Structure 1
């Protein structure tokens, strides 16, 4: 399998763009109201797309990982430096310009730097950051699986995980109770999406004749069924079915047509775009409305501004920090090996 899968970059870019479009149209209208006739409610399913992508990418990464510290360094360098910048910039913009219902103290901003403010019963400085907690939990769980040499038995682990999800749903239905810590630690609300991403990786990485592995396909179908049960919504089930189908097309090499440079560029800046668009975008959009700028002008302007900021953050913070931290890890390992 190629070390760089361009279709995944496109998936990332489209997922981020869909989420941004949902927030600047539908979500902003729900919270503050605007006269924009256009709404993009299905854009919220970009989050589900991200979780599918994470399942695929993290399993791919762990298959190439040589040490736990190497994996931790790679994930830390990818997530935290630009996230810290986003927390600082978002807090500053919201506090200086002002956004109704949002006002963050220094303590709140500081605890957000951990990426898990909910563990400290502290609100996130941006509404989209909740997904990062799930990402971190998933990384930890998968690192445990890797340490236990369970990657090649991942289908059995997925079966057990799905059974745990089923136990949660049945317990909630019949007793109205399930330990919330277990629900959080095992990400029972979204585990099926990460699992599906893992299974798609297994199908993609397997030999041509093994891509019809019945167990893996059945588990993918069960993951989709879990989505339908949890959301209990026909639209949700239909949209996520479309996301699953996009991965199937990718697995069977039918999506090379989407690998266009603008879409791949969106994929390059997708993480920064996700981090910087929400409260910063809302603050700027609210300010433009106060100044009398019509919505059909204000929304595209804010969208372009968010893409511009994400481009700067990716180029001058995210990528340099990633290169520096990973090079330091490589240098340290090389030095230690020579000393030994």
Structure 2
């Protein structure tokens, strides 16, 4: 796993799916002859917004205080020496990505219930791309102003980055967090094609989880690059667990769902340790495998608490604001943060801890601008523009 930020990107706003129970109306109520009746519908899960913001801040701490290379150039020294105590904790902030993936599985399952395949993909495109395109432009402009912080790419590479397909195409990334967006995008594609197009139901999601888990195991045995890329075995267990957790939230606990969660946890903690535990030379950042396992366990426990309704008390409105800013913050915080650190610390001589605070404030401000002036106005417009009108649909059907 490449230890850079995001996830991730957050999916759509985590709301309950009141009125989207088409699948739950199928005949049968025992989960065998038909679809199980939903236990919960409606309501807003603001605790997910809070966890999303926590994951973003964890990744941010890693990029500012727990990572070497480019950020060390901005600090003019290794974060391990500048933050001798805090940097050891910050280096585990990269695991915030795993929390993003867990949340994504939960929210995508929730938000896709009752949607057609077209509606599902339109919502994903409208959610991901507007802020992403502007972030590409902002970071590219920064690379022209201060290439010592952000390396400038060729024009063809920048244009390819606008598709979000640069990683499989072998092109350098404008945004360091792009690798997680590609993982998310693959999850959306697979879940859309294998589940959403037929209608999201309990049985279809369970079958998808089981088959994907088996595919992950065989992908390790196959040891084939194409299979690994398609199955993304190192990250799939988090999405699978998120899907199962949402079914627990919606329908209640059963042994099958908890079995999927436990199996996903066992695979997830193993993959996280093998990806991050690389003992290095003296003085280098070294991840403790037991700490990695503990953090992954905490992530699973937190999502389990939401699935079981134990965090319903965390219903403050400011959590929704924090959740809304998470995605644009995630996109720009890495490279633009290094840019700000270099200006505040090396250019203006501000101390390390005030520099981190100022940089974080600037990135939150930039995220607010992206959310207010890009996501809110242009996301809905893009979604509407992608919808084929009824007249055009009639013409297409007639042309067949």
TM-score (norm 2): 0.76
Would you say 1:241 and 2:297 are equivalent positions? Answer: yes
Mapping of 1:57-72 within 5 angstroms? 57-66=107-116, 68-72=117-121
Residue 126 of structure 1: SS of its match in structure 2?
coil
Residue 67 of structure 2: SS of its match in structure 1?
helix
Equivalent pair of 1:98/1:283 in contact (CA under 8 Å): no
TM-score (norm 1): 0.89
Would you say 1:55 and 2:105 are equivalent positions? Answer: yes
Tell me the CA shift for residue 329 of structure 1: 5.1
Mapping of 1:314-325 within 5 angstroms? 314-325=371-382
Tell me the CA shift for residue 183 of structure 1: 0.8
Q: Distance in 1 between matches of 2:186 and 2:151?
A: 27
Q: Which of residues 181, 187, 199 in structure 2 aligns to 1:132?
A: 181
Residue 256 of structure 1: SS of its match in structure 2?
coil
> Aligned residue for 2:205?
154
Q: Per-residue displacement from partner, 1:156-207 (whole Å, max 9, x unpaired)?
A: 33222222222233x2xxxxx611111111221111000001001111111x
Would you say 1:36 and 2:83 are equivalent positions? Answer: yes
Q: Which of residues 57, 62, 86 in structure 2 aligns to 1:22?
A: 62
> Aligned residue for 2:4?
none
Equivalent pair of 1:60/1:201 in contact (CA under 8 Å): yes
Q: Which of residues 322, 326, 336 in structure 2 aligns to 1:280?
A: 336
Equivalent pair of 1:228/1:234 in contact (CA under 8 Å): no
Tell me the CA shift for residue 120 of structure 1: 2.0
Gaps of 5+ in 1: 172-176
Equivalent pair of 1:115/1:133 in contact (CA under 8 Å): yes
Equivalent pair of 2:127/2:375 in contact (CA under 8 Å): yes
Q: Distance in 2 between matches of 1:237 and 1:155?
A: 26
Tell me the CA shift for residue 300 of structure 1: 0.8
Equivalent pair of 1:10/1:259 in contact (CA under 8 Å): no
Aligned residues: 328
Tell me the CA shift for residue 256 of structure 1: 2.8
Gaps of 5+ in 2: 1-40, 73-77, 274-288
Q: Per-residue displacement from partner, 1:30-78 (whole Å, max 9, x unpaired)?
A: 8512423422223212111111111111112221213x22211111110
Residue 83 of structure 2: SS of its match in structure 1?
coil
Mapping of 1:86-165 within 5 angstroms? 86-100=135-149, 102-145=151-194, 146-148=196-198, 151=201, 152-165=203-216
Would you say 1:205 and 2:250 are equivalent positions? Answer: yes
> Aligned residue for 1:83?
132
> Aligned residue for 1:308?
365
Q: Distance in 2 between matches of 1:120 and 1:105?
A: 15
Tell me the CA shift for residue 226 of structure 1: 0.1
Equivalent pair of 1:24/1:299 in contact (CA under 8 Å): yes
> Aligned residue for 1:289?
345
